[in-house]
Amino acid sequence: MTWDEHLAWCKKRAHEYLERGELLDAVTSMSSDVTKHPNGPKAGTPAVAMLMLVGAMSAQQGDIREVRRWIDGWH
C-alpha cells in the first residue's frame, strides 16, 4: 500500500469516529494509524506528540470543525 493509500485509509477511519461524535478517538486513531506505514511519521517522536496534542486540544474543546481540519490537514 502506498503512503497516499494508507493516508486515505487513516483519514477514513478517523472521520468515522468524528461522525459518531467521538472526537478524541478520531485524533487518537489518526495519530496511531499514520505511524504504522514505513513512510509515515515515527511514533514517539516530538513532532507526532506535538501534532497529537494540537488535535487532542481541539477534541477536548469539542470543536468538531477544527478536528476535521486537523485530520484533513495530514499530507
Residue-number span of the structural domain to which 7 is assigned: 3-72
Enumerate the H helices of 2-45 as residue ranges.
Answer: 3-19, 23-34
Distance CA 48, CA 34 (A): 10
* CB 29 within 8 Å of CB 17: yes
Helix (H/G/I), strand (E/B), else coil: 62: coil
3-state secondary structure 32-43: HHHCCCCCCCCC
- pTM, two decimals, is 0.91
- What are 24-73's pLDDT values in tens digits? 999 999 999 999 999 999 888 998 899 999 999 999 999 999 999 999 99
How far from chain centre, in Å, is Cα 41?
A: 12
Structural domain tally of the chain? 1
